[in-house]
Structure 1
Amino acid sequence: MKVLIVDDEPFILQGLMKIVKEVAPDHTSVTAANNAYEALDMMKDRMPDVTITDLNMPVIDGFGLIAEAKQQQLCARFIILTGYDQFEYARQAIRSGVIDYLLKPVNREELSELLHGIASELPASCDSDYRHHADRILSYIQRNYTQELSLDALAEHTELHPNYISSLFKKETGTTFINFLNDLRINEAKKLLVTDPYLPVWQIGERVGYCNRHYFAKVFKKYTGTTPGEYRESRQVKGE
């Protein structure tokens, strides 16, 4: 399980990290952010399973962080920590869809029970959703790599946020979306250069998704170390 803790007071943040590491389930990864902006950047890379956030932070408070993270589909589970025991805070927390609302100082047993409960739910929900989204994205690229593709186009098709797709894609393939797409296109171009030796190079570029012949040649050389024409000639010499 991946846990992100957000608090603008360094001393409190370090204390919370220590407590969470002690009471969370085994193999829990815990990271920290000093403000909402830093937290959102971390979420794009780590996609935490749950975020524990303070409410009162400068510029963007805890509720603002939750709203933005949910809008970008960076995290779905939140625990609010605050030193204010007021009904209005609790009511707004419920409206924000948080898992729980805890008062400082943190009750270790209560937090432990909460984190273990979240961990027990993850395999059935989070992992299956992640796998489903990854399969949809990869399948769509395989079917449409010859068309103009971008993160925004994928986002529109899948109804997922571009930042979520980018992070998910990196975790699933070990590379970026653009590298994966270019690698797929260049591999298909290499096949066509060999199997259809009389088809002009620029047409092959168009068939695999590159409308600009100069850009196709540039990308091809970047990924293979040679130009399309040189690649075709080398394969003909080898009798492939």
Structure 2
Amino acid sequence: MNILLVDDEPLELEQMEYLINKNFPMWDIYKAQDASQAMKIVSHSDIFLAFLDIQLPGKTGLELAKELKAVSDADIVMVTAYQSFEYAHTALRLGVVDYITKPVIEEDLVKVLNNYSQLTHYSHQIQQSIKLIHQNYEEKITLHFLATKIHINPAYLSRKFQEEVGVGFSEYVNNYRLMMAKKMLIDRPEASIGEVSEKCGFNSQHYFSQMFRKETGLSPRDFRLKETGH
């Protein structure tokens, strides 16, 4: 799997490269110190996951994230020294999948990377399917949509997904939506339960609450209270 690291501080790049190599030695790492270098790398390499520092010379990391989204299917994680909800909100609106704070702690980095560790064992078709789910979970995503995007038969994709991932397509989508809902409940305390439900792709707040309680044993509101204290 190809990882792109973008930071204008060489020591930060070296540290992240060291931590990734230490935990995932089979992954290939590309490094850039500004948006221009990053876009050149993306133009000739199939980047699966990009870590972008928010404070870059010239274009900011958020501006780079927007450009990357227009030309690449890469998942994006923002790296920021600012523990600010404002940056988090902007990043989430751009479709960024996660963010971590500086100085980067190994445990936090590995937690993000573990979401992708299993992907290396999947076939290319299933890797592409999962990437599309992660990028489109907010929408009404269907098996037919995925099959069309990767140019295979829907019935074949359904069977292959179950065989490789161990759960069906619909269950995987719901599980991922619930995972993102948990994150949003914590990261955006001002968002209503209805907003979280809609943003995470659920058809109704009632269905979202049912699924959430089944998964966690708590209502979304009680989960937020437990995790944030408010």
TM-score range, shorter chain: 0.5 to 0.7
Q: Which has the higher contact order (CA 8 A, sep 6+)?
A: 1
CA–CA distance in 1 between the matches of 2:94 and 2:102?
20
CA–CA distance in 2 between the matches of 1:16 and 1:103?
12
Q: Which residue number corresponds to residue 78 of structure 2?
A: 80
CA–CA distance in 2 between the matches of 1:21 and 1:121?
17
| CA contact 2:128–2:150 (8 Å) conserved in 1 | no
Cα deviations by residue, 1:34-70 (Å, 9 ceiling, x for unpaired)? 1111101101111211001100112111111111111
Q: Which residue number corresponds to residue 92 of structure 1?
A: 90
Equivalences for residues 24-173 of structure 1 within 5 A: 25-72=24-71, 74-121=72-119, 123=122, 124-126=126-128
Q: Which amino acid aligns with 2:19?
A: I
| CA contact 1:51–1:77 (8 Å) conserved in 2 | yes
- For 1:3, what is the secondary structure of its paired residue? strand
Q: Which amino acid aligns with 1:58?
A: P
CA–CA distance in 2 between the matches of 1:45 and 1:68?
15
Q: Which residue number corresponds to residue 2 of structure 1?
A: 2
Q: Report the alpha carbon displacement of residue 95 of structure 1 after superposing the two structures with TM.
A: 1.0
- Tell me the matched-pair count: 134
Q: Which amino acid aligns with 1:9?
A: E
Q: Report the alpha carbon displacement of residue 119 of structure 1 after superposing the two structures with TM.
A: 3.1
- For 2:104, what is the secondary structure of its paired residue? coil
CA–CA distance in 2 between the matches of 1:20 and 1:26?
7
Q: Report the alpha carbon displacement of residue 78 of structure 1 after superposing the two structures with TM.
A: 0.7
Q: Which residue number corresponds to residue 22 of structure 1?
A: 22
Change (3 A) 1:12 1:131: farther
Identity of aligned residues (%): 27
CA–CA distance in 1 between the matches of 2:26 and 2:148?
24
- Relative to the length of structure 1, the TM-score reads 0.50
Q: Which amino acid aligns with 2:90?
A: Q
- For 2:50, what is the secondary structure of its paired residue? strand
CA–CA distance in 2 between the matches of 1:111 and 1:99?
13
Cα deviations by residue, 1:19-48 (Å, 9 ceiling, x for unpaired)? 22113x341111101111110110111121
| CA contact 1:51–1:75 (8 Å) conserved in 2 | no
Q: Gaps spanning 5+ residues in structure 2: where?
A: 133-145, 153-230
- For 1:59, what is the secondary structure of its paired residue? coil
Q: Gaps spanning 5+ residues in structure 1: where?
A: 137-240
Q: Which amino acid aligns with 1:112?
A: V
CA–CA distance in 2 between the matches of 1:43 and 1:37?
10
Q: Report the alpha carbon displacement of residue 71 of structure 1 after superposing the two structures with TM.
A: 0.8
Q: Which amino acid aligns with 2:47?
A: P
CA–CA distance in 2 between the matches of 1:15 and 1:131?
39
Q: Which amino acid aligns with 2:21?
A: K
Q: Which amino acid aligns with 2:17?
A: M
| CA contact 1:43–1:75 (8 Å) conserved in 2 | no
CA–CA distance in 2 between the matches of 1:76 and 1:106?
21
- For 1:80, what is the secondary structure of its paired residue? strand
Cα deviations by residue, 1:174-214 (Å, 9 ceiling, x for unpaired)? xxxxxxxxxxxxxxxxxxxxxxxxxxxxxxxxxxxxxxxxx
RMSD: 2.5
| CA contact 1:3–1:31 (8 Å) conserved in 2 | yes
